A and B are shown apart, each in its own frame.
Chain A
């Protein structure tokens, strides 16, 4: 790994950890209804929202009411986003006169953005009007992230409450996450991105004359270039902060109008990890022991480091298929070298590998390089990170509640070893919590494996595959890993805009999102009812190196046992074949 690559990674983590504590402490105050500066400024707006929607934001909810509110809100979101896409042709803000989005694609996209997946079976600049991108997709970028934060906050609350029937108010958590956390950050990030060249305009696409004319596939001369524009910066900011990942343009953060400079790239990567890491601190703060939050964050970081190393080294090593051609892929002062297929020169190897690792460690799914063209082991990294369940930082909210479920499993395993009833943060972990935790692990994993199996044995599934051999299998495995874990990135050679994939990945996203969130809320409801057990000599402390090691071990073990057979058929066999050639 090059020196500047290492410095870049160090700077990245420096920036993320620098904001972890202040942002986390702020979020803890926001959700505990304590006074904040933002509260003074945005308070009137917040009260207006509650009054207009006739909501009593102080009414406490049982976990079932909380879950019902979340599900209803997301259902309404799906219907609204579907309707907007279908009516696109007659709505304003459509200078390129885009027609209605076809029903299966609109259904898939609506689910995709509501579930915080942002899987895209469409090309943004060729399919979506400015209005639908702003009033439909951007909105779900905010509120799907806020839904994840709300569920995480509800789970955190359940640890600090005792003998309580309720876990908070969903509407309060949702509105606060949107207005007090996401919106102010998005404003700042959008302005920084626009300063770098991310477009933000409602003007129609611009036509310019080419310096040298070229030919299209049928041999016709092309003398002009039409530059797709749009209100991108406002959407890109929340696309990253909310770990959504749905690009304004088809090439996502590889597009020069979506990610024009190494600095914009750095800011976009920071924005992906900012809230997931800050939520760890907020968790520690809200349960009254900051060390608990740091321990979780440490486990995430420990899981991340070998992945970024493997991805960078593998991409820098280059593609053996070009080895005996007169091609220079050696890194030097004048060239990044390495595997440059599907990468942009301004990012080179280091900033592309870091982005690919960050975007899949978190359930963001934005890409600044085409993952389909990564080397076999370089592509194993993003796939593996998704399959671990999106808990290495993970999605905003969903990453934290995901890893807390793993923490519950870790204390359970610890309890089995010494023969005591396990407890976490003073709450006894009993059979109900373990049943729900098992569902959280099993549901996305089985969706990935069953979905992949169905796709590779049916003609409709095989038809989408673009690359021959083991890599074609990887494309399908990647697609279902991404959908079921709500990441949204793709091995994009796979043609997913077909009725089969639109329906299959749509179902995978729905089950992967709510099949996890509802059991998590059930755990919250159960924990809130319990009393606090004072720690005793037999209690496994959950802020120590030992526990971090156990937590990492449980995550790796569960992921490896579930997915190594499937990975062996894809990236691993491709790596063996590729290094032999």
Chain B
């Protein structure tokens, strides 16, 4: 009897000791592994090869980058729904620049950064210094970016620049993870360049958020703006920086996306902002600000795309299932967050 009570007490104190960030992060990681392993067991073939996992990374590198930016803004208590539009604008502008403007793929990177920077400066200024709701500002930003994409070029087209195609086909071989294909030939596992960029950004942002003064300021501003101000943090500048970094990351994400698809189209990256927000939320970033983790966001993206792959390979390939599953997952995680917050308040 006594020992039972003891363990119960231990459990509750353990529950209290786990911070919001850690609890949400743990839920996400567990969910991802459970999903992936059960997919391996029940759906087999498609998920057993390591390359299947790397393909998820290849396809979602751009989303990982934009979702990291989104998490950063959400940690400060804001939101940025213009990222999908910026990605589309960047890929269209780069495509036009390469094929009609005679540019090379390396100067196109500068173009991508410049677009991201421009959006970041304007949106950051409006949100931080004029105190306008971030949702409205970035909603306008999203529509502006989408409209501009059509103005830059109307029809979708594939890029035929040679230097770019070479860069696009560059693959990073991962040793020891290859598999034997149907013809019996050993094929190396690979990731695209974009994945390397994405992983670098995840690591850098993680370190910045955890160990630098600026990183802690993001959390402080999101947690409680008044207290942050009293601690001597420049709240406006911090918010401005968060939006700036988010838009620049959207620019980089746009280039990585462009590198993956190799074409420009006004309908590119449609709904990407929603996927980025969903991955951040699934990854344990709180909408109310102050709580979040880049590693969680990374796993959020992986969970999101794994569930989409599961839906596709379980034979439900009608297009509507993807929308419904993503929304259902978002809904569940939102409710879990809200319940956790309510419990905290009562405690």
Is the A/B pair a real complex?
no
Binding site for A on B (CB under 8 A): none
Binding site for B on A (CB under 8 A): none
